[in-house]
């Protein structure tokens, strides 16, 4: 019986129960085998919700329910962006919004991860400068993102993901597919943008951007999730080999090219960057992407710092929120919730160190446009 006035915790209850059955010394083999089989069953159950897989155990990312927005049917001043700081897909949209200078046109509410894996809104803190921080829901004061999704005509029962663009007047989801959103932000609102001349997907580079996306999305952006969410050794082996051969290929390419498509930053770079910035902090450890860290690559690390140092980008990167979002809230992959220490080469001061990648540019155009 508990001698304190506190109610018995689950640990107390388990200890009392096992003491009753086996006395003070529970046979360790029995404990391990019992917990192992029940944990394994529960783990597969949780993973099937979090990360659906095919029969071979490979993660299969669910498709977005609201892709392909039609820019001609949109009034930019009625749109609101829902995002979150840990999420690499939402991060893409925050970067393009900042680079295009659309902050005054498309307001943003920043959700925080909840303990049950869904997105919640918390009270606003006080931002330092232009740094993005978690916010309340600025449109409705909703407690969760699900509440917002459910307000659409006809309701909604699907996955409530970020990023999501919402039409405040029509009360409708405009789009929840990140690549479609960044294309929209890049070219859809130039009459309102502070940087209308910055084109992150110019027609002459479209084909090369698509070529890189065909490598970066499956093998790297989604590739890290295919490693972390693999439910069989074979699925993991395939994913991790594809991931590192893509990173090696890109590292080689970047030895002679400032960005993926040459001198100009494009949407392909934005998509690669949001995975790279999380790589050593999270994916290397938690998703078992262990062959190498970004800091060990000759060109990728400088390339990542080059993009981090573009005016407006660092303000979208909350390194602590990224680490917390994965280690503290992705329960099935880190049940103890312990957050490892931040690797020093990934912190803000190191990311600001000189990268000398300007020397690879044959023109300074992309940087000039952004600095104007
Ligand atoms: N294909 C989507 C993926 C978005 C996505 O998976 N977002 C995650 C956060 S990183 C999410 O909101 N998950 C919540 C859920 O699945 O309920 C995109 O690129 O926008």
On whether the CB atoms of residues 167 and 74 are closer than 8 A, the answer is: yes
Give the best-scoring range by mean pLDDT among 11-15, 33-37, 66-70, 302-306. 302-306
- Find out whether the beta carbon of 93 lies less than 6 Å from any atom of ligand 1: no
Look at residue 367 in the predicted model and tell me its pLDDT.
45
Q: Is residue 227 part of a domain?
A: yes
In a shared domain, residues 269 and 182: no
On whether the CB atoms of residues 74 and 100 are closer than 8 A, the answer is: no
Q: Is residue 61 part of a domain?
A: no
In a shared domain, residues 156 and 305: no
Model confidence pLDDT, tens digit, residues 261-319 = 999 999 999 999 999 999 999 999 999 999 999 999 999 999 999 999 999 999 999 99
Annotated binding site for glutathione: 119, 159-162, 177-178
Q: Is residue 59 part of a domain?
A: no
Q: Is 225 a catalytic residue?
A: yes
Where do the H-state alpha helices sit in 51-134?
Answer: 88-100
Q: Is 87 a catalytic residue?
A: yes
Query: What is the number of domains present in the chain?
Result: 2
In a shared domain, residues 215 and 311: yes
Q: Please compute the mean of the pLDDT values over residues 9-37 and round it to a whole number.
A: 73
Whose CA is closest to 254, among 234, 268, 242? 268
Q: Is residue 55 part of a domain?
A: no
Annotated binding site: 119, 159-162, 177-178
CA of 322 to the centre of ligand 1 (A): 14
CA of 89 to the centre of ligand 1 (A): 7
Phi and psi dihedrals of 89, rounded to 5?
-75, -40
In a shared domain, residues 171 and 240: no
In a shared domain, residues 207 and 118: no
Atom 5 of ligand 1, nearest CA residue: 161
Predicted structure pTM score: 0.91
Q: Is residue 41 part of a domain?
A: no
**Boundary-marking domain end, from 187, 222, 247:** 187
- The boundaries of the domain holding residue 126 are 71-187
Residue 179 CA: nearest ligand 1 atom is 19
DSSP 8-state symbol, 127: -
Is the model's pLDDT at 369 over the cut of 50?
A: no
Model confidence pLDDT, tens digit, residues 96-126 = 999 999 999 999 999 999 988 899 999 878 8
Q: Is residue 326 part of a domain?
A: yes
Q: Is residue 286 part of a domain?
A: yes
- Find out whether the beta carbon of 161 lies less than 6 Å from any atom of ligand 1: yes
Q: Of the given ranges (35-39, 75-79, 332-336), which has the lowest mean pLDDT?
A: 35-39
In a shared domain, residues 158 and 219: no
CA of 61 to the centre of ligand 1 (A): 9
In a shared domain, residues 221 and 357: yes
CA–CA distance, 103 with 253 (Å, rounded to integer): 33
Task: Kindly report the number of other CB atoms within 10 A of residue 363's CB atom.
Answer: 11
Is the model's pLDDT at 40 over the cut of 70?
A: yes
Q: Is residue 147 part of a domain?
A: yes
Name the percent of the chain lying above pLDDT 90.
74
50-70 burial string, b = 16+ CB within 10 Å, else e?
A: ebebeeebbbeeeebbbeebe
Is the model's pLDDT at 148 over the cut of 70?
A: yes
In a shared domain, residues 220 and 169: no
**Boundary-marking domain end, from 123, 157, 187:** 187
């Amino acid at each position: 019986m508990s001698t304190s006035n506190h109610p018995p915790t689950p640990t107390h209850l388990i200890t009392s129960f096992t003491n009753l059955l086996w006395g003070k010394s529970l046979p360790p083999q029995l404990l391990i085998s019992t917990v192992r089989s029940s944990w394994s069953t529960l783990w597969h159950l949780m993973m099937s919700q979090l990360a659906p897989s095919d029969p071979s155990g490979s993660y299969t990312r669910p498709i977005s329910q609201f892709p392909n927005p039609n820019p001609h049917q949109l009034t930019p001043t009625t749109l609101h962006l829902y995002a979150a700081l840990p999420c690499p897909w939402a991060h893409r949209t925050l970067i393009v919004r900042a680079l295009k200078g659309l902050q005054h046109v498309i307001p943003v509410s920043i959700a925080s991860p909840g303990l049950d894996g869904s997105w919640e809104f918390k009270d606003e803190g006080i931002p330092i400068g232009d740094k993005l921080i978690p916010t309340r829901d600025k449109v409705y004061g909703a407690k969760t993102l699900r509440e917002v999704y459910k307000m659409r005509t006809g309701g909604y029962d699907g996955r409530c993901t970020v990023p999501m663009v919402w039409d405040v007047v029509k009360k409708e989801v405009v789009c929840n597919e990140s690549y479609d959103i960044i294309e929209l932000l890049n070219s859809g609102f130039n009459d309102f943008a502070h940087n209308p001349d910055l084109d992150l997907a110019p027609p002459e580079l479209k084909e090369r951007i698509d070529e890189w996306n065909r490598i970066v999305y499956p093998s790297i952006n989604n590739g890290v999730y295919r490693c972390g969410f693999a439910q069989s050794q074979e699925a993991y082996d395939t994913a991790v080999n594809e991931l590192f051969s893509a990173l090696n290929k890109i590292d080689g390419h970047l030895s002679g090219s400032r960005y993926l498509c040459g001198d100009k930053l494009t949407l392909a770079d934005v998509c690669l960057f949001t995975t790279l910035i999380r790589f050593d902090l999270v994916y290397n450890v938690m998703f078992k992407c262990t062959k190498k860290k970004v800091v060990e690559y000759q060109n990728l690390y400088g390339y990542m710092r080059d993009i981090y140092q573009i005016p407006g980008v660092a303000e979208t990167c909350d390194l602590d929120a990224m680490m917390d979002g994965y280690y503290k809230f992705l329960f099935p992959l880190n049940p103890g919730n312990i957050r490892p220490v931040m690797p020093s080469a990934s912190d803000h001061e190191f990311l600001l160190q000189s990268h000398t990648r300007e020397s690879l540019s044959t023109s300074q155009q992309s940087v000039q446009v952004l600095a104007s």
